[in-house]
Chain A
Amino acid sequence: NAGVTQTPKFQVLKTGQSMTLQCAQDMNHNSMYWYRQDPGMGLRLIYYSASEGTTDKGEVPNGYNVSRLNKREFSLRLESAAPSQTSVYFCASSEISGQPQHFGDGTRLSIL
């Protein structure tokens, strides 16, 4: 059971570079999410997709774009990376709309 798969697991970028984080789930879930996790803070929602073709901004969407390519895949793009975007990024999916149920193992992103 793969569940939620995120790639890459680690990445180092220079300020101003662009990058796409990939996420795929094999559970046929409609809802998918992108969160970021920073030290001393709870997970914060970046973007949410209730179903294929729909996306909605979360708590901290600035500097990010997303693409719900199909039911399985939900990608997160940083167009011009900034040091403040250094974080661990988690993708999640769920059967219940809005309730993150299954998380990937994260992408650890450092921006210099």
Chain B
Amino acid sequence: GQQLNQSPQSMFIQEGEDVSMNCTSSSIFNTWLWYKQDPGEGPVLLIALYKAGELTSNGRLTAQFGITRKDSFLNISASIPSDVGIYFCAGITSGTYKYIFGTGTRLKVLA
């Protein structure tokens, strides 16, 4: 089935650094979602984006809906140890309710 490409697959960063990750698709999407998953738990919805160019923040997290509608970006500012986890993007095209999920970016923060 169709999948989204998330980049990078994993990253190690120092505490206090800013983090950027992205998600790309071959299809045009109408909505983008970003989730975080901690070990042994279910994903938690962080941010939802509904319009091309939209920029939305949730605390230290900022996500953007790409102008081409084929990509989305997530930035984390001043990372802290509890930011560790897997970040997933999900997108949906028009005419369907079935979100496609990316394969995730695994973030590890070094104190």
- On whether the two chains bind one another, the answer is yes
- List chain A positions with a Cβ less than 8 A from chain B: 4, 40-45, 48, 50, 58-60, 90, 92, 97-106
A41 contacts B97, CB within 8 Å?
no
Contact among B3, B42, B48, B98 with A42 in the assembled complex (CB-CB below 8 Å): B3
A41 contacts B88, CB within 8 Å?
no
Contact A41 to B103, CB < 8 A, known contacts A48-B97, A99-B33, A99-B48: yes
| Closest Cβ neighbor of A58 among chain B residues | B98
Q: Is B66 an interface residue (CB 8 A)?
A: no
Interface of A is mostly: loop
A-B pairs with beta carbons under 8 A, tally? 57
- List chain B positions with a Cβ less than 8 A from chain A: 1, 3-4, 31, 33, 40-45, 48, 88, 90, 92, 96-104
Please report the C-alpha to C-alpha distance between residue A104 and residue B43 in the assembled complex, in whole angstroms. Answer: 8
A42 contacts B33, CB within 8 Å?
no
| Complex contacts, B42 vs chain A, CB 8 Å | 4, 90, 92, 103-106
Most chain A Cβ neighbours within 10 Å, of B42, B44, B99: B42
| Closest Cβ neighbor of B92 among chain A residues | A98
| Complex contacts, B90 vs chain A, CB 8 Å | 42-43, 100
Contact among A99, A102, A103 with B99 in the assembled complex (CB-CB below 8 Å): A99
Q: Shortest Cβ distance from B3 into chain A, in angstroms?
A: 6
